[in-house]
Amino acid sequence: MVKIGGSLLKSGESYLSVAEKIREKFIEQGSRVVTVVSAMNGVTDDLIRSLAGSGSALGRVVEKYTTAAEYLGRRRLKDRVEDELRKLKLALEVGHVHDPALRDLVLSFGEKLSKILLVEALHHAGVMAVGLDATEIIKTDATHGNALIKYRETSVRLRNYVVPLLEEGAIPVIEGFIGSTSGGDVTTLGRGGSDYTAAAVAALLRALEVHIITDVPGIMSADPRYVKSARVVPEMSYREAIEASLYGCKRLHPRTFHPLTLVHECRVYVGSWRESTLITRVSSRCCRGPKLVTFKLKGRYAYVALVGDGVSEHGLVSKVVDLLKYAGLQYDGIYAFMSRPSIVLMFEEQVLGRALNTLHDLVVEG
């Protein structure tokens, strides 16, 4: 399972280079691949703006996809893209903005168009690819804007749709982020939706690996804007990844791990083509202990979390307390539940930088 993030999809060229990479890294290595694709960079935000009436945002979406389609050549492709864009405009004209079903329908065009382009790019790269419609495969509840995938219904469809194609050596490409209700209305899966799709598809097809690929390397040991010495965490567990995302690590959404925990576990690689973090159900023994430090701002406080399996055990908590005292860092609260892989400290916002650096350098790296 390969999931291509929107940050990699900025132009026609980038679709081609993604396609080449998929061929080199996976297909030529003999892997059977299913691809989940996000909308082009910035498109979902622009679609939300155009729902609020912004003509210029819609203009940007149209421009991006038409230019990319032109770059990828072929008349037929352009016709298809224009046809979808025409439907999108019609949807915005009907424009009951308050109608959540229509809103999801509008948002779904971002991924749909992106899929059409990626399939074409894969053909250019000599890959037998074929687009499948997420609305026909990914079945969800009716919570528009934040729908939950129904695993059983989706599983049946996946087997029908994907298995014959894989057997023939073809690469199915499915839109991330979108699904449909039992009545057939389009739904969207909310923040991190494409990763959630990828994880669900992978788990239901009992895949070995999920590669979530964007333009930044894996999960960092701290926010590099604050901490110069931050580096990519090589390995972590689902639990740690979920905890990190709850405390502000934006790379992942906790929902992504739901199908992986409930249905089938896969090895998840999060990162760029070159460097990534491997996330598995339980991290290997060598890797217990603090992995990263992350934070969330709330009011005038920063909640800084040290994340890692075993960090809430007594020894480490008292070590952290000592360290902070030694470094002269005032904190306003600390909590560490034995059942969770984190220690959370509350700081005044102005000392955030120093706190992150201290915890990172002395505890994570120490």
Partner 1 sequence: MRLVRVVRLALIGFGTVGRSLAKLVALKNKLIEEKYGVRLSIVAVADSGGAVVKEDGLTPYELLRLCELPRSAMSTFTPYGLPGAGVREIYSRVLPDIHVEATPSNYVDGEPGVSNVLYALESGVHVVSCNKAPFVLRYRDVMDSASRKGVKVGFKATVMAGTPLIDLLMSLKGYEVEGLEGILNGTTNFILTEMHENLVTYEEALKKAQLMGIAESNPDLDVKGWDPAAKLVIISNVLGKPVKLGDVVREDLSRLDVREVFMAVKEGSVFKFIAALDLREGRASVKLIKVPREDVFASVTGTLNAVRIRTDVNEITIVGKGAGGPETAHSVLDDVLTVAQEVRS
Residues that bind partner 1 (CB under 8 A): 76, 79-80, 83, 87, 90-91, 93-94, 96, 105, 116, 119, 128, 130-132, 136, 160-161, 163-165, 168-170, 184
What is the closest distance, in whole angstroms, from the C-beta atom of residue 94 to partner 1 in the complex? Answer: 5
Residue 236 forms beta bridges with which residues?
279
In the complex with partner 1, the residue whose CB is nearer, 61 or 227, is 61
In the complex with partner 1, the residue whose CB is nearer, 95 or 145, is 95
- Helices 12-22 and 100-124: crossing angle, nearest 10°? 60
In the complex with partner 1, the residue whose CB is nearer, 45 or 136, is 136
Residues with Cβ within 8 Å of residue 20, at least 6 apart in sequence: 125
In the complex with partner 1, the residue whose CB is nearer, 132 or 304, is 132
What is the closest distance, in whole angstroms, from the C-beta atom of residue 190 to partner 1 in the complex? Answer: 23
What is the closest distance, in whole angstroms, from the C-beta atom of residue 188 to partner 1 in the complex? Answer: 16
What is the closest distance, in whole angstroms, from the C-beta atom of residue 124 to partner 1 in the complex? Answer: 15
Q: Going by DSSP bridges, is the β-strand pair 333-335/292-298 parallel, antiparallel, or unpaired?
A: unpaired
In the complex with partner 1, the residue whose CB is nearer, 132 or 201, is 132
Q: Is the dihedral of CA 170, 175, 176, 179 positive or negative?
A: negative
What is the closest distance, in whole angstroms, from the C-beta atom of residue 104 to partner 1 in the complex? Answer: 12
In the complex with partner 1, the residue whose CB is nearer, 170 or 329, is 170
Pair of tokens at residue 26? 């996976």
What is the closest distance, in whole angstroms, from the C-beta atom of residue 168 to partner 1 in the complex? Answer: 5
Q: C-alpha 46: how far from its chain's center?
A: 18
CA distance 177 to 189: 5
In the complex with partner 1, the residue whose CB is nearer, 120 or 309, is 120
In the complex with partner 1, the residue whose CB is nearer, 172 or 193, is 172
What is the closest distance, in whole angstroms, from the C-beta atom of residue 86 to partner 1 in the complex? Answer: 10
In the complex with partner 1, the residue whose CB is nearer, 129 or 249, is 129
Distances (CA, A) of 142 to 135, 160, 181, 229: 13, 23, 6, 45
Closest CA to 271 of 195, 203, 178, 359: 195
- Terminal Cα distance for the chain, rounded: 36
Which secondary-structure segment (H or E) carries 171?
A: strand 171-175
Using DSSP, state whether 67 is helix, strand or coil: helix
In the complex with partner 1, the residue whose CB is nearer, 175 or 243, is 175
What is the closest distance, in whole angstroms, from the C-beta atom of residue 84 to partner 1 in the complex? Answer: 11
Residues with Cβ within 8 Å of residue 292, at least 6 apart in sequence: 219, 220, 221, 222, 233, 236, 244, 249, 306, 307, 308, 364
Specify whether the CB–CB gap between 293 and 221 falls below 8 A.
Answer: yes
What is the closest distance, in whole angstroms, from the C-beta atom of residue 101 to partner 1 in the complex? Answer: 9
What is the closest distance, in whole angstroms, from the C-beta atom of residue 50 to partner 1 in the complex? Answer: 15
CA distance 169 to 165: 6
Closest CA to 129 of 116, 140, 142: 116
CA distance 150 to 153: 6
